[in-house]
Structure 1
Amino acid sequence: FFSISGSEFVEMFVGVGASRVRDLFKKAKENSPCIVFIDEIDAVGRQRGAGIGGGNDEREQTLNQLLTEMDGFEGNSGVIVIAATNRPDVLDTALLRPGRFDRQVTVDLPSYKGRLGILQVHARNKKLDEEVALDTIARRTPGFSGADLANLLNEAAILTARRRKDTISNLEIHDAIDRITIGLTLNPLLDSKKKWLVAYHEIGHALVSAMLKNTDTLEKVTIIPRSGGIAGFANYVLDDEMIDSEGLRSRAWLLSRITVALGGRAAEAEIYGDAEVTLGASSDITEVSKLARQMVTLYGMSDLGPVALESPNNEVFLGQSWNSRAEYSEEMAIKIDRQVREIAIHCYEEARRIIRENRHLVDKLVEVLLDEETIDGDEFRKIVDRYAELTKKELEPA
């Protein structure tokens, strides 16, 4: 078994990488049958032609030698080559053809059963409280990799030691998840105008998501600040099916997501007026612009029809989009901009309508959030359902 990293082939001296490839395969043939494992092969196997402008490229020479050794006139009997990379999209097509790397094994993020098994492995040397259920943690962590789950239990153990507890409880688990996904917890905000504004902003996100049909499930909303300038956040739980079938998300789901993202700005505008809106929604607006543009130019979900007007993931370092031109006319660019703006304004008006029609509920939720600083998703939905029942009774004729 021979193991080497792709970066070890590439040197500043011309020809060294190619000679190392020859030496490696020479040793492999002498010791056949054997396995040659190349880690991070994208360091040497990246698509040729990316060095725009010509000239000598040491990496390309090394790749050419590797291609020759793997499928030359001389048979490499008994030598099996295995490689690993996180970037299969940048590999040269000659590497991936049959006769060289015949099979590609994709290691996806673990499903619920996979996460549960990984948690059971990493929980063996941890003292967990009796109330901690690993299956509940597995359901709460869709999209987590094995390393993320190991880090989660380690962070929970560190928090437990800091709090001078003997066992890891659900509180430490939940805090560790937030710490990994959002950031470090900072000191709570003082009772000031900023705290009220953050509360209205986050309740705006949460309430809009509760009132719309095609949205993710709210996990919690909080105004406890986090590192990185996050004053508060509303967190949602994605289903495993939604993560696995990301390409099957509907137009209604995308519009709802845009509307929820604009819920914070809508709440600020309805409560404090347009002149008092803040920079807190800047990241939300960036996401809105990105999603709306993708709906128009990639997914064919606008009045321009089912056409793809842009190509995703064109990257200069692959030599694919150097001096690239727009794939549509200036007239079409104006229409795209207009469609993107119409989607954003439509969703913004919908978010403002929801906030305006439920103003009393917004104030009630803000009072609860200011008092508790964090509202659990189940508690939030109970308050909304209770308000809906009271409103329905008031509207019923006597």
Structure 2
Amino acid sequence: MKFNWSRNLFVYLLIAVAAAALFLSVFPSSDQRPQEMDITAVAEAIQKGNVDSIVVSGDDLRVTLATNEVRRSRKDEAASLLETLAALGVTPEQLRGVEITIDSSGQSNNWLTLLGSVGPLLFVGVLLFLLMRQAQGSNSQAMSFGKSKARMISGDKPTVTFDDVAGCDEAKQELAEVVEFLREPQKFASLGARIPKGVLMVGHPGTGKTLMAKAVAGEAGVPFFSISGSEFVEMFVGVGASRVRDLFDQAKKHSPCIVF
């Protein structure tokens, strides 16, 4: 199983950046956030002439003091700013020295603030979803690690028969009985005969052993499983035996068949 370090490192870096952005959006630094100021304290500051300007954005207030310090406050939701200040004892004469501005973009700013808070969270969620899918894929690969890698050729449409094998007449004659066993196993079982558990083919590489085995499966019209011995060898203990068991489980499901 190969582990793609570069891709996983990139994903982890993205998660770290998204987490940092989420933290900063939810918990901004104290330098960026003006200090809170109660609306009563705002009214008292106006009465003392210590307020230069107020920016109204919905119910939020951005108060600039005479010392150029910025404070944030909130007014009563059920009343306007002038009504709220008047209820706290601020007179119109005291308000003449205060520049009051209505910020009509407060609604869009609220949406941008919400997007800035939720966006990183959604980004982290998508990354976690991708990581979970990758982990599931790794688990499925791990689960299939002990599965057989045998290749199956269906017997419904045989591609190789005895006609495709040149020569080897004696081998064909000896294997003809095996073909009959595979075609009609019930017929021989009713007579008390037993089909051979296996056939040993001896020959140098390239003499046609695999072709002959495929021809037997093609003549009998049964599935053909092909696998090499090296595919059973693994560095992990028990994997080879697991693949052998899985191979024969597949063969039993497609019985009668040939395993080569």
User: Whose relative contact order is higher, 1 or 2, with alpha carbons under 8 Å and at least 6 apart?
Assistant: 2
Q: TM-score range by the shorter chain?
A: under 0.3
Determine which structure has the larger strand proportion and give its number. 2
- Which is greater in Rg? 2
TM-score (norm 2): 0.19
TM-score (norm 1): 0.14
